[in-house]
Amino acid sequence: MNETILRKYAKLAVEMGVNVQENQTLVINAPVEAAEFARYCVEAAYQAKAGYVYVRWVDDQTSKLSYQHANIERLKRVDDWVVSQYQTFVDEGACALSIYAPSPGLLADVDGEKIAEVSKAMQAAVSFYYTHMMANKTQWSLVSIPTAYWAQVVFPE
């Protein structure tokens, strides 16, 4: 993808979408497939005078492996350090930018009930965080970006 366009999109996401403030912490949730764009967002945030930018990387491929092989009870357990991290984000007034990069069909062969149970456990453990965000007590934004995997599925020819 064109670097100039990605940089402009990152600047737009940070300055207009999430509206990061001077000295504010920005949490970026990003799939590893969007690493280049996430880095541009980090750079744009620091140019906008963010105090700190923390990137929470996710990888759909390793998540799939966990769903396929890990014990459901372990997957549903949300460790204290995870909850503490979310509480820190709330306590510091961090804003959040989530980068969505779909992987259509990747989890098609994974038990949907297992995915739902794990998601439900996480939602319950950090419900305070989502309540905080949905009540607009801090800024947040969601942007989407295509990936090579997405393009291959959508445009197979």
Question: Could you please report the per-residue DSSP string of the chain?
Answer: --HHHHHHHHHHIIIIII-PPTT-EEEEEEEGGGHHHHHHHHHHHHHTT-SEEEEEEE-HHHHHHHHHHS-HHHHH---HHHHHHHHHHHHTT-EEEEEE---TTTTTTS-HHHHHHHHHHHHHHTHHHHHHHHTTSS-EEEEE---HHHHHHH---
Number of domains in the chain: 1
For the segment 112-131, what is each residue's pLDDT rounded down to a tens digit?
Answer: 999 999 999 999 999 999 99
Nearest to 20 by CA among 86, 91, 93, 129: 93
Does the pTM surpass 0.85? The reply is yes
In a domain, 140, yes or no: yes
In a domain, 1, yes or no: no
Domain that holds residue 98: 11-148
In a domain, 95, yes or no: yes
In a domain, 66, yes or no: yes
pLDDT less than 50: residues of the chain: none
CB of 13 within 8 A of CB of 50?
A: no
User: Would you mind telling me the total number of residues written for the chain in this entry?
Assistant: 157
In a domain, 144, yes or no: yes
In a domain, 48, yes or no: yes
In a domain, 63, yes or no: yes
For the segment 49-58, what is each residue's pLDDT rounded down to a tens digit?
Answer: 999 999 999 9
In a domain, 154, yes or no: no
Q: CATH no. for residue 130?
A: 3.40.1830.10
